[in-house]
Copies of this chain bind each other. A is one copy, B any other.
Amino acid sequence: MEHIPRTAPVGALTGPCSRWPAEHGETIRQIIERAGNKWAVLIVSSLNCGPLRYTDLLHSIQGISQRMLTHTLRQLQRDGLITRTSHPEVPPRVEYALTDLGTTLLVAVTTLIDWAGTHHDEIQDNRTRFDKPAATS
């Protein structure tokens, strides 16, 4: 893939700053549509605990609708991030599980979640301060 090494100190802009080759704008768009999808992230997170059935997901991911569950599940399956296993039984049973690829996504996404957890309060403060520029008295 040969992406730009980001090991250089961000502040030391002595040379021509290295950026992504612009074509990556398209690539970024791709990830955003995956990792930036609330439901996708939630589903992948839930699946970290092992395979789950349709209704299990429906219940464990609080607030998701059938429509979005099914839709997102299809997306993830299409991308090869999860597998769908249908057991031909009388009460149909379908299990969804993370693929290896899906697991790597989860790891990457976890980085973001950690970041959010670490700086969540700080951001809240910033917002409050920004929204309330008064209070100089």
User: Residues of A with Cβ closer than 8 Å to B?
Assistant: 1, 3, 6, 10, 13, 17-20, 22, 24-25, 27-32, 34-38, 41-42, 45-46, 48-50, 61-63, 77-80, 98, 101, 103-120, 122-123, 125-127, 130-131
| Alpha-carbon distance between A133 and B46 when the two chains are bound, in angstroms | 28
Give every chain B residue within 8 A of A112 (Cβ-Cβ): 31, 35, 108-109, 111-112
With A62-B25, A130-B78 known as contacts, the answer to whether A1 contacts B37 (CB < 8 A) is no
User: Could you list some 18 contacts between A and B, CB below 8 A?
Assistant: A1-B118, A3-B110, A3-B113, A13-B49, A17-B50, A24-B117, A25-B42, A27-B120, A28-B113, A29-B38, A32-B38, A35-B35, A78-B127, A78-B130, A80-B123, A80-B125, A80-B130, A108-B114
Give every chain B residue within 8 A of A115 (Cβ-Cβ): 31, 35, 104-105, 108
Give every chain B residue within 8 A of A106 (Cβ-Cβ): 6, 10
Give every chain B residue within 8 A of A110 (Cβ-Cβ): 3, 6
| Alpha-carbon distance between A110 and B24 when the two chains are bound, in angstroms | 12
- The smallest beta-carbon distance between A67 and chain B, in angstroms, is 18
Q: List the B residue with the shortest CB-CB distance to A99.
A: B126
Give every chain B residue within 8 A of A61 (Cβ-Cβ): 25
